[in-house]
Chains A and B, each alone.
Chain A
């Protein structure tokens, strides 16, 4: 994944945050997504103000013991959210 990519939340989703986890509902497209706490962090950081690379860097600094995993986990989660239409690169 291009580390210079910016990502935005796709429109039309209803969001609930419960104990740090997220549930997204798009009633028209008929899709429901549940994200764990770390998936929720990734989702929330994709607000158009940071590149993929910046998100990886921020999370790696917050959780340095898992920096290697974060390098792979974050782009994979972002790709999944793009595939489900929850994130867009515009």
Chain B
């Protein structure tokens, strides 16, 4: 820009040229503080229906090479929501009902808690059931009940059972 001060008309002409304005009259007639607003696209394919919780996977026994009699048996439960969305907080509630030799849930402690879904819309919890006596094992039904923490995410709940037999 030259050291000489621009006239208003020259400045407007330069402005029109720089901004591709068809005519000087299409430029703003007066200055106002530039207003900028920022937003974001919605999640891809989003609907306004609440999520639905389901349990598409069978409970899985996790074998870490531990002794089931002394260290307990580990069962993984997995819940899934549709549409698959990350970050939805689910609540789990666990219970173990022995039908034979007694045992108890030792992990997680306490037996209710929350876990957030991953990018696939899934959340998992590993549950350890320990026989009351390592010499007698345990037999019973392990149950998880999944539900949404925030009703705005969804309102249904699902439960899953797994029969445990630890013979020692």
Contact = CB atoms under 8 A, between A and B. Distances in A.
Q: Do chains A and B touch in the complex (CB under 8 A)?
A: yes
A7 interface: no
Interface string B38-49: 111100000000
Nearest to A57: B1
Interface residues of B, number: 29
B37 A62 contact: no
Contact of B39 (A32, A42, A44): A32
* A: interface residue count bin: 35 or more
Nearest to A44: B19
B109 interface: no
Contact of B10 (A30, A50, A61): A61
Interface string A39-67: 11110110100100010011101111110
Contacts of B31: 38, 59, 63, 65-66, 69-70, 73
Contacts of A27: 41
A81 B36 contact: yes
A81 B37 CA distance: 10
Interface string A5-48: 00000000000000010000101001111111111111011010
A61 B123 CA distance: 61
A65 B32 CA distance: 11
Given A27-B41, A39-B35, A62 B8 contact: yes
A38 B18 contact: no
B19 to A, nearest CB: 4
Nearest to B14: A58
Contact of A84 (B14, B19, B38): B38
A40 B8 CA distance: 19
B1 to A, nearest CB: 5
B27 A73 contact: no
Contacts of B39: 31-34
A31 B19 contact: no
20 contacts: A20-B27, A31-B39, A32-B41, A33-B39, A34-B36, A36-B36, A38-B32, A39-B35, A39-B36, A40-B19, A42-B34, A44-B19, A44-B20, A58-B1, A59-B11, A61-B10, A63-B31, A64-B8, A66-B31, A73-B34
**Which 9 A-B residue pairs are closest in the complex by CB-CB distance?**
A61-B11, A39-B34, A66-B31, A63-B31, A36-B35, A61-B6, A77-B34, A62-B11, A37-B28
